A and B are shown apart, each in its own frame.
Chain A
Amino acid sequence: MPKYDINVNGITKSVDVAEDTPLLWVLRDHLDLLGTKYGCGIAQCGACTVHLDGNAVRSCSLPIASVAGQKITTIEGLSEDGGHPVQQAWKEVDVPQCGYCQAGQIMTASAFLDKNPNPTSAEIKTAMHGNICRCASYTRIHKAVEIAATKIG
């Protein structure tokens, strides 16, 4: 099997996997980075969201061969200790119910706020529309993104 060098959370790691292996499973099964979640496998739910060169992407649908040479950030690498403004806002609002989708929500929100630190409510709704929360903690997700924006902006 081919060998790939990938840069995850600032560290270059070498993995030996089939070229079509989705980044999600490389992170979870090969690198033990379990914060990125499997939800649907077809880029429809957002649970697997990570940053690729600062953009929010669905790692379940990104073959490992397509990410070489790019900077990957997972929830584990978003901050040292949960201190990113988006993580802090999530804590302040007490967003989670079951909590499973929240890493993906946080990764989508943080990439979005990097590009648009002063969003309108409608822009938040559009940005977060791709991430499903089955517990429907959407009201709090929306509020947390607003609060994070005030911390960042």
Chain B
Amino acid sequence: MSTSSITFNRRSFIRTSSLASGGLLIGFNLFTACKPKVQPPVDISQLNFNDFNAFIKIADNGAVTIFSPNPEIGQGVKTAMPMLIAEELDVAWKNVYVQQGILDTENYTRQLAGGSQSIRLGWEPLRQTGATARQMLVNAAAAKWGVDPSECTTSEGVITNAKGETLGYGDVVKEAAALEVPENVTLKKPKDFKVIGTDAPNVDIDKIITGKPLFGLDYKVEGMVYASVLRPPAFGKILDSYDDTKAKAMPGVLDVIRIGEKAKELSKEGVGNWTVTLGKSDKVVVIAKTTWEALKAKEAISATWVDDSTLESTEFQDKQLLGLLDGKEFKTLRKDGDINKAFSQADKILERTYESPFLPHNCMEPMNFFANITDEKIHLVGPVQTPEFAATAVAGMLGRDVKDVHLEMTRMGGGFGRRLYGDFVYEVAEIANAVKKPVKLVFSREDDMTAGTYRPAIKYRIKAAIRDGKVSAYHLKEAAIGGNMYGLIPNFFPAGAIENYQVDVANYQSNITTGAWRAPYTNFLAFAEQSFFDELAETMEVDRIQLRLDLLEKVKGTTDERIEYSPERMQNVIKVAVDKSGWGKKADGIYQGFAAYYCHNSHVAEVADVEIENGMPVVKKVTCVVDCGIVVNPLGAKNQIEGGVIDGVGHAMYGDLTFMEGQPQSQNYDKYRLIRMGEIPVVESHLIQNEIAPTGLGEPTLPPAGAAVANALKAATGNRFTQQPFSKFPELMQVPAKAIIG
């Protein structure tokens, strides 16, 4: 098994300095691959993050401020990451003030929100930072007293010596700042944690409940104008011409402009890192005094569009993907043994095809961004998951030095992967560059849903061979739009458990833009595989839980370094889920479905309970067991689990975006169904207690939810759902008479 470890040189990632205002400033690099050169500024007002991407500030009065560098999208890192520092610094969490850091475009590689990695990668360096700062404060106090530092203890920001004398951190920060950075500090043992493992409320809770401006859409400056962009009505169309006479005469409208020229620069090598430009069409932009005036005037523009490439419909895409699955053109991502031989010798073969639609992200805060571009500075403010990529690309497209870019991150009204793509940043940059005014670009909900970077439509075909009561071969084929599964996904379970195993992928390049969507690829792959394992157990006439446990048993002791899931931890979450959910012991009328999945370094098992209400199956409860190692903030962790499970249930049940001649058929919530309060199951969460380094929670509970529900629906209705969303197949929701009586 391979687990990535983080190594770093303390000298290169911690620097300290006195503050002009008194107090100590500790700068530290959150992650490796940094190139620190510059000393942290002495004056806090000069804080520019050109050297360090995070800071701890300790004031004379002992108050601690921690600058959190990573974007907050609702996953809770703005609370949990500073908790790691506070633990080892040994300060009371209630005395810590957390502030959002800004972007350093030059020196850092991972100031982003994505892949559920912030806590996993921050675990070691953040605690080291806190411990180093604590040791320096202790050393300063010991010198003052003329005692050995080892005689001193700390608790909640107070240092105590053997005689019982005390000094607060604030009393010694000045001296501490002048000391050498200690090389070897000891980290606390998990049993000594005082902050980690305690419930910490969201650090922005007071601002959220009182409606304080926090989000990108709330950002305002004097003289700011608003921009609304008219984009092609369908993928495959490009702008020909437009008439803006009516729009220009409307109240509040300042200008109507055409953009697209600068965006072309993004396609040049080295300019647009990870860009999605949403097609190559030019766009029409209304500039107005207010948001409403901009959005309304956009409707009054009459534009002519011409066809540039195929105007695809869902039916057409389905044919393409099924054609790929039936064909022979695949890229093999993993191959163990000889599946063909095993299939030829099989007693039984099971083959199933699973199909998923496109999904829009539907962040509650629609895409938006602020830009003000002058000869001196490119000022960008707003919600983006990948600030570094956005800043670099904007500088590149405008032919400017990236040093001119000053990017501030706001709290984000959801991310789910949509804000990994900087299309809205490039748009506002081109607009601001043209109008020479501070400008806020605002997407309407319709803009947001129709100009997406969607979860791609994917189809999986899984085929397994059974011989002598064992699974002798497993063949997974993927046909996807836009891109294919990547990295270690082909090595997730059941890789390593079946002797003859192969993963093949094929791709159809559509003109519809696709991208990461919460738990990319696994959000549907888990549904396909965990549904398949249930059917496999039924075909083999064995217990569905035991089948999974037996397969995992075979992975134990593997020397295959590509296998990163732990069979022991997986078996454990399965057993706990069986126990906690009352699996197999439920009263008549409760139908259970099981699923277990590993992704984003965490192990999860879920059991869905379906009951029949008014003749229809209803998901009443999901029991979710998670092993993500040490839980930093249980209060936040449970929120992520509940949200991930309900999100998974909701999209499996209802999520669906279809296309007709390149045009998305849902444009707003009247025609796009998201799960709501009346449809939610109770989520019972259980976190495995252990002392293993923590892993992420923003994504891993979503993927198994769809399969747990499908397997429960099978138990309730006798029907197998192989296509999402389930609500599209009301005929399969029909409950047999016996179930209604039961």
Contact = CB atoms under 8 A, between A and B. Distances in A.
A136 B674 CA distance: 10
Interface in A1-59: 1, 17-18, 21-22, 25, 28-30, 32-42, 44-45, 47
Nearest to B674: A132
B610 interface: no
- Rank and list the top 3 A-B pairs by shortest CB-CB distance, nearest first: A35-B211, A100-B413, A98-B74
Nearest to B649: A136
Interface in A83-136: 87, 90-91, 94, 96-103, 106, 124-126, 128-136
B74 A41 contact: no
Given A34-B213, A139-B646, A91 B201 contact: yes
A142 interface: yes
Interface string B281-296: 0000000001111010
Contacts, number: 184
A94 B201 contact: yes
B650 interface: yes
Given A82-B210, A98-B74, A138 B680 contact: yes
B547 interface: no
Given A87-B209, A96-B202, A125 B217 contact: no
Contact of B73 (A22, A98, A125): A98
B363 A134 contact: yes
Nearest to B698: A97
Interface of A: 1, 17-18, 21-22, 25, 28-30, 32-42, 44-45, 47, 74-76, 79, 81-82, 87, 90-91, 94, 96-103, 106, 124-126, 128-142
13 contacts: A1-B251, A25-B290, A32-B220, A38-B291, A75-B210, A87-B209, A94-B201, A96-B209, A98-B364, A98-B414, A99-B411, A135-B364, A138-B677
A42 B362 CA distance: 15
Contacts of B729: none
Contacts of B646: 136, 138-139
Nearest to B644: A136
Interface string B638-670: 011011111100100000000000000000111
Residue of A33, A98, A134 contacting most chain B CB atoms (<10 Å): A98
Nearest to A107: B211
Contacts of B291: 25, 28-29, 38
A94 B205 contact: yes
Interface in B377-407: none
Given A32-B220, A97-B76, A98-B412, A140 B208 contact: no
B445 A96 contact: no
A1 B483 CA distance: 51
B191 interface: no
B637 to A, nearest CB: 11
B114 interface: no
Interface of B: 72-76, 199, 201-202, 204-206, 208-215, 217-218, 220, 226, 251, 290-293, 295, 362-366, 411-416, 442, 444-445, 635-636, 639-640, 642-647, 650, 668-670, 674-678, 680, 682-683
A125 B414 contact: no
Contact of A34 (B76, B218, B251, B675): B218
Given A29-B291, A42-B445, A91-B206, 9 more contacts: A35-B210, A35-B213, A38-B366, A75-B210, A94-B199, A103-B208, A106-B209, A129-B678, A137-B643
Contact of A126 (B251, B643, B678): B678
Contacts of A137: 639, 642-643
A134 B448 CA distance: 14
B211 A99 contact: no
A129 B636 CA distance: 24
Nearest to B645: A136
B668 A100 contact: no
Contact of B414 (A21, A124, A134): A134
A21 to B, nearest CB: 5
A148 B604 CA distance: 33
Nearest to A26: B292
A132 B669 contact: yes
A99 B366 contact: no
A125 B672 CA distance: 20
Contact of A97 (B215, B442, B640): B640
Contacts of A42: 445, 668-670
Given A94-B205, A132-B669, A35 B212 contact: yes
Nearest to B676: A129
A94 B362 contact: no
Given A41-B445, A139-B683, A97 B643 contact: yes
A136 B675 contact: yes
A136 B642 contact: yes
A139 B642 CA distance: 7
A93 to B, nearest CB: 9
A130 B645 CA distance: 20
Contacts of A99: 74, 202, 204, 208, 214, 411, 413
Given A18-B251, A101-B364, A94 B639 contact: yes
Contact of B674 (A81, A126, A134): A134
Contacts of B670: 42, 44
A42 B672 CA distance: 13
Q: Which of B202, B210, B445, B645 has the most CB of A within 10 A?
A: B210
Nearest to A103: B211
A136 B668 contact: no
Contacts of A90: 205, 208-209
A98 B676 contact: no
A132 B290 CA distance: 26
Nearest to B74: A98
Contacts of A36: 211
A82 B707 CA distance: 41
Given A47-B364, A129-B676, A132-B676, A22 B292 contact: yes
A128 B293 CA distance: 31
B416 to A, nearest CB: 8
Contacts of A37: 215, 217, 364-365, 413
Contacts of A129: 676-678
A32 B220 CA distance: 9
Contacts of B680: 136, 138-139
B205 A74 contact: no
Nearest to B206: A82
B205 A96 contact: yes
A136 B362 CA distance: 12
Contacts of A135: 74, 364, 414, 643, 647
